[in-house]
Chain A
Amino acid sequence: MKANSVQELMSHLAGAIEVQEDTVSVVDEAALRNKMDDLVYTAVFGEGLTRDTARWLIIAAGRPGHIPRFNP
């Protein structure tokens, strides 16, 4: 499912990740995995701010301290 707004996107991710200002926290890794297909669909095929937010959420969730250790 592609989210059509940031509000819809965040609502879909409730319980999986939390965003406080510019910090993303993974609160339930299994839940995030379950929601990932929709999140990445929005990140690739979404539009404007909703797409950009989806991309940022994924990349931020992959930073050290979250799930995979992203680089360097």
Chain B
Amino acid sequence: MSYTWRSVAAIFPPTFTVPAMNIRAMNYNTSRAVFRAANKTNVGAMLFEIARSEMGYTDQRPVEYVASVIAAAIKEGYHGPVFIQGDHFQISAARYKKDSTAEVQAVKDLMDEAVAAGFYNIDIDTSTLVDLSFDTLDEQQNTNYTLCAELTQYVRSIEPAGVTISLGGEIGEVGHKNSTVEELHAFMQGYNKHLDGATGISKISVQTGTSHGASCCLMEPWPR
């Protein structure tokens, strides 16, 4: 999807959207319905995703998730590409406060498991660590962009040869204050400084006033 996002970003105004569906229950049956609809309407791009938290309470590990989705595609005779995404690979603010090293390692361990299973799209979510009590936007976003860059570099170190995993970042925690353009600039400027030459994110989620965020695609290159 990395190439797709970059292609979408080059088109203005955007001419299509890509649905991302969090299949939490009855994965095989639900995914079959998705593929039936995709076949019927000739859909080209859609994402099957699941968040770190959802894997926990639905007891679906990444490899089970991928197997269920692919099984549904085969069952329905779907011959298009299947994109699977790790949604909200999120740092828990509470656990980070208690033991930051262990919490970051837990997300890296999940990345290992997910990439091995075939999650080639991952949304890194360190936005839980944005601290609005600071005066400057750079200070507010500092832990968010620093950790997001660290996790970006980690994914680059484990991705299979020939695969560039599409990564996303987040600048505003779901359900909190609406994001601003200035926050996006503060995040990206700090993030790019910490990348050390690694390929960065290709999209970012912002808080838009709904109970959940929405993604937009990044124009390349982002000004450094």
Contact = CB atoms under 8 A, between A and B. Distances in A.
Interface in A48-72: 54-55, 58-59, 61-62, 67-72
B28 A68 contact: no
Contacts of A6: none
Contact of A70 (B1, B2, B118, B165): B118
B81 A54 contact: no
Contacts of A71: 81-84, 118, 120
Contacts, number: 81
Interface in B74-122: 74-75, 77-84, 117-118, 120
Contacts of B63: 55, 59
Chain A interface: which size bin? 20 to 34
A2 to B, nearest CB: 14
8 contacts: A33-B77, A36-B74, A44-B28, A59-B118, A68-B73, A69-B80, A69-B81, A72-B2
Interface of B: 1-2, 27-28, 63-64, 66-68, 70-75, 77-84, 117-118, 120, 163-166
